[in-house]
Structure 1
Amino acid sequence: MFGGGGGLNPRKMEQMMKQMGIDVDDIDAQEVVIRTDEYDLVFDNPEVTKMDARGQETYQIIGSPEEVEAGSAGGTPAVDGDAGAGIPQDDVELVAERANVSEDEARDALEAAGGDLAAAIGNLE
């Protein structure tokens, strides 16, 4: 992005990014799962960085994933009997926190968005 950057001081780089309205945060992630129709990619103990450039969030994952059978990667299932079964509780909590709404509102938004976290948050903001 900044052409090589080999000689740039990390502190100077951070100042330049702040001036351009870009915030960078490290996320202390234990696991990242990317689900596809054919397989899941599971990153154990990845380095995750979130970059927020004027409201557009981008996540960078650094690590070596393990490819596992689709749907076999862990995750927190929804509680049986809950409205919105199939929507993981972790997703509900994340949407509720990000959009500053109740868990019921977050679950409804996730259901309406077909489980898409970004769409659910965007619809609530």
Structure 2
Amino acid sequence: MFPGGRGGLNPQKMSKMMKQMGIDIDELEDVEEVVIKQKNKELVFNKPKVVKMDAKGQEMYQIVGEPEETGEQIEEEYEPNEEDISLVVEQANSTEEEAKEELKKTDGDIAKAIVNLKD
């Protein structure tokens, strides 16, 4: 991918080349933990190596380490807003309470809520 044979480019040449392309690289010191939260789990990196790259104002972070996966997270229950409730009430000829309950069941899928209430 990069010239320089099997061993690749030496780090100093790579750093110089990146600077010429407008990319600044800084290693963050003393990082104890990085947590990536997903819908149903978390990835926890303990004592990772973290590098921050700034390419013309766009910041990117590279995390190097072995993540630990945590179990299921408790998901927050969806709470429909007034606009969505009104739309479902109008389209499905339902009460606000019925619309709210159906929106919760469909996790905010307005079209599905309307169809379910019309059936």
The TM-score range, normalised by the shorter chain, is 0.5 to 0.7
Normalising by structure 2, report the TM-score. Answer: 0.53
What's the secondary structure of 2:39's corresponding residue?
A: coil
- Give the deviation of 1:71 after TM superposition: 4.9
Larger radius of gyration: 2
Q: How many residues align?
A: 72
Give the structure 2 partner of residue 8 of structure 1: 9
Q: TM-score, normalised on structure 1?
A: 0.51
Instruction: Pick closer, same or farther for the CA change 1:59–1:11 going to 2, 3 Å.
Output: same
Counterpart amino acid of 1:2? F
Secondary structure in 1 aligned to 2:2? coil
Q: What is the CA-CA distance between 1:69 and the residue it aligns to? A: 2.6
Matched residue, 1:37: 39
1:81 is matched with none
Residues in 2 aligned to 1:57 and 1:3: alpha-carbon distance in whole angstroms: 26
Q: Cα distance 1:4–1:31, how it changes in 2: closer, same or farther (>3 A)?
A: farther
Runs of 4+ with >4 A deviation: none
User: Offset at 1:70?
Assistant: 4.6
- The residue correspondences of 1:1-125 to structure 2 (distance < 5 A) are 2=2, 6-28=7-29, 29-71=31-73
Q: CA deviation at 1:9?
A: 2.3
Question: Which structure 1 segments of 5+ residues have no match?
Answer: 73-125
Structure 2 unaligned blocks of 5 or more:
75-119
SS at match of 2:70: strand
Task: Say if 1:18 and 1:12 are closer, same or farther in 2 by CA, change over 3 A.
Answer: same
Report sequence identity in percent: 60
